Amino acid sequence: MKKTLILLSFAFLAQNAVSQEINIQQKEGLIQNKEDKHIVFRGIDKIDSFSESGIIGSITKMNMAGERIYILDKRQCKIFVFTKKAKFLYSIGRSGQGPGDLENPSDFFITDKETVYVLNPMAKRIEVFSIKGNFVKRIALKLPEGLFYSQPNRILVDQNQEILIAYSLSRHLIDVYDENGNYLRTLLKREDTITIPGENIGNCSQIQFFPKEKAILHFNYFTGLFTKISKTGNIEKIFSVFDEPLNKERLFVIPSG
């Protein structure tokens, strides 16, 4: 009997709404031949890269909150905001190093309270905005001792304003910080030894709440393994797309960019 896996790609999908849906046959990765299992796009028109604000140079991340689409362009250091009908509304952030400025941002997260957190990896800072684009505050991440070389790359923010960070370079895979950027605890570490120089020096992973805020799902692009981990750091499951328990599992994958 064929097993199916639902993949939701957050380069094109909303966090709380499904815009693209695809069922695949696990082993060969083939799209099922039944009509109800084809790719389906819902409710989003084509977005022209030439907007009223100028040209979108690089779609780093695309997300939806409410009735609006948010596109992060790390080249221009802005988040462009559109309606579902692809009408440009306004932008969030600008290039620079001052409060409210963005420096080659890698990720953003929109909370249930409509607050936008944008991660600046090299500066190890987070710029916080209102949903309207007004600057709220800057958070400097105080990395754990010994991880001065680590580069934050992905961000989640829970209802308690605790900030979850994944890295592109670190011995840690997921760390938790408080709302002021102070390190609290490590949820997940690398098991393999980092060799310098070496092919495994960097991390290539993604994180997502799963489901909602009950657990965190970590995906390792190097190994192809998913790790489901509780917010207290307990590993609940490690699996791949070929494992038996995935008959009805729903996975969230954010393509690296």
Note the pLDDT of residue 6: 35
Note the pLDDT of residue 221.
81
Q: What is the pLDDT of residue 126?
A: 98
CB 150 within 8 A of CB 169: yes
pLDDT of residue 84 exceeding 80: yes
**Confidence check: pLDDT of 186 > 80:** yes
Residue range 69-78: mean pLDDT, rounded: 94
CA distance 149 to 169: 7
Q: Does 159 map to a domain?
A: yes
Total domains in the fold of the chain: 1
229-247 average pLDDT score = 80
* The Cα angle at residue 126 between residues 205 and 106, in degrees rounded to 5: 40
192: in domain? yes
Is residue 129, in this structure, part of any structural domain at all?
no
Average pLDDT over residues 17-31: 44
Per-residue pLDDT band at 10 (split at 50, 70, 90): very low
Burial of 26 (0-12, 13-18, 19+ CB in 10 A): middle
Mean pLDDT across the chain: 79
For 202, the domain range is 149-257
| Mean pLDDT calculated for residue range 61-90 | 91
> For the domain that residue 153 is a member of, what is the CATH number?
2.120.10.30
**193-216 burial, b if ≥16 CB within 10 A, otherwise e?**
eeeeeeeeeebebbbbbbeebebb
Nearest CA-CA partner of 139 in 152, 64, 15: 152
- For 43-52, 97-106, 207-216, which range has the lowest pLDDT when averaged over its residues? 43-52
Reported pTM: 0.78
131: left (phi over 0), alpha (psi -120 to 50) or beta: alpha
With a cut of 60, say whether residue 144 has pLDDT above it: yes
Domain-located, residue 111: no
Q: Is residue 26 part of a domain?
A: no
Q: What pLDDT, on a 0 to 100 scale, did the predictor assign at position 116? A: 98
Kindly state whether residue 68 falls inside one of the protein's structural domains: no
